[in-house]
Amino acid sequence: MASTMFSLASVTPSASISLQDNLKPKLKLGTSSQRAFPRKDFMKAKSNGRTTMAVAVNVSRFEGITMAPPDPILGVSEAFKADTNELKLNLGVGAYRTEDLQPYVLNVVKKAENLILERGENKEYLPIEGLAAFNKVTAELLFGKDNPVLQQQRVATIQGLSGTGSLRIAAALIERYFPGSKILISSPTWGNHKNIFNDARVPWSEYRYYDPKTVGLDFAGMIEDIKAAPEGSFILLHGCAHNPTGIDPTPEQWEKIADVIQEKNHIPFFDVAYQGFASGSLDEDASSVRMFAARGMELLVAQSYSKNLGLYGERIGAINVLCSSADAATRVKSQLKRLARPMYSNPPIHGAKIVANVVGTPELFSEWKEEMEMMAGRIKSVRQKLYDSLSAKDKSGKDWSFILKQIGMFSFTGLNKAQSENMADKWHVYMTKDGRISLAGLSAAKCEYLADAIIDSYYNVS
């Protein structure tokens, strides 16, 4: 431990106090409540007939670590909690809420948990790749139970720590076995994507996606940028319900995207965080992935069950790698496990058993689909009501129909940073600074209030 020694000769009380005051700003003490010179830091010594006192001041080895900026999404919730206004709305974090704006635990999840208790199942470690029953049903859910790629055993699947952890494992695979390869991500994209690839040391660039003029998809720009990427790049695609815009390609556009990716020998990498939660249909929301797979393309898919099963805190997801052969899939899976081992050793068991019970039990599976349709339906209804409220209140004739064209739990409002800050400062409506709102946190009763806030911010703040 580094230390600094100060020698204080015997002086008058007043001079001693003055000297201590002068030294205080220079001393780095553990807490603000410590005295300037803690008793344990004093050492007495004789020097030329005078008594001196030496002070050892500890200097932290972590002095060079700076304060990290707050997370742009989670920081919104912190600001919301600190607000005492009764009108406040948290439209930042993408977590489903009831019409009363309360967290919702799916009934089917409760039943699946009861099954675990009734069976008296233990809490032993899972294998590195996770729960076998989970891996089986999650791949079937994604690709379709009868998909030839599963029958041919061409998919390597391991359980991951929700979507984020699954993406991170895949990023490590890219960094280790495709050194120097670039990944293209949409502009804009989910805020954590860049963090994940930065930390994995995978170089990235952006492809155009959002067109602010139309508040829609810049399809021409997207295609042009994917074509211009170095051959063999990884292309990160949102399987459905693009975050943050809620803007998805049409089926015809997906086909053209696949054409360009195949022409350039790129590798598609899907992030599927909302299967079944976007449209209410598990099959429809997986159609983009299945279309690419049907073309014989090798690809990666990260999955999450945070949204569609409401298992936010269980951190349950998976990374799937579709290979051209069963032999390649076996080798890829072995390396996915090797990467996971030093990161977290093995994944948690509880959420995996919930998913395995829900998807693997016909009665629970049917009930889950009904609950997903209910949740997706509530979001669609508030999306419609917000559009109706904006259209009725805005007398300028502005077309707000882009809100209805978007899908999933988010809506990209088109508000800029200053306008988004006005939403919070004046209206107590908390959202990300890029103009994204989570409709999952909106109730029908609050739609008119939100419309007033959006109109005021859009027209009165530049």
Summary mean pLDDT of the chain:
89
Beta strand 436-438 with 410-412 is antiparallel
Beta strand 155-161 with 183-187 is unpaired
pTM of the shown model: 0.85
- Architecture of the CATH domain 125-360: 3-Layer(aba) Sandwich (3.40)
pLDDT digits (tens, 9 = 90+) for 141-160: 999 999 999 999 999 999 99
Of 107, 156, 105, 97, which Cα lies nearest the Cα of 446? 97
Q: How far is CA 40 from CA 20, 35, 58, 371, 458, in A?
A: 16, 11, 12, 63, 61
**Tokens 């967290």 -> residue:** 103
pLDDT score of 230: 97
Output the six-digit token pair for 280. Answer: 């209410």
CA distance 312 to 162: 8
pLDDT digits (tens, 9 = 90+) for 4-18: 443 434 444 444 444
> Which of 3.30.530.20, 3.90.1150.10, 1.10.3720.10, 2.40.50.1070 would CATH assign to domain 72-104+376-460?
3.90.1150.10
Of 218, 285, 307, 446, the active-site residue reads: 307
72-104+376-460 and 125-360 agree in CATH topology: no
- DSSP letters spanning 156-207: EEEEEEHHHHHHHHHHHHHHHHSTT--EEEEES--HHHHHHHHHTT--EEEE
Active site annotation includes 190:
yes
Phi first, then psi: give them for residue 304, nearest 5 degrees: -140, 145
Beta strand 183-187 with 234-238 is parallel
Contact 376, 168 (CB under 8 A): no
pLDDT score of 72: 76
pLDDT score of 352: 98
Question: Helix, strand, or coil here: 230?
Answer: coil
CA distance 18 to 57: 19
Of 190, 204, 368, 400, the active-site residue reads: 190
C-alpha gyration radius of the chain: 28
Phi first, then psi: give them for residue 46, nearest 5 degrees: -90, 130
Please state the domain extents for the chain. 72-104+376-460, 125-360
CA distance 379 to 237: 23
pLDDT score of 52: 59
pLDDT score of 50: 62
- What are the residue ranges in the chain where pLDDT is below 50? 1-42
pLDDT score of 77: 84
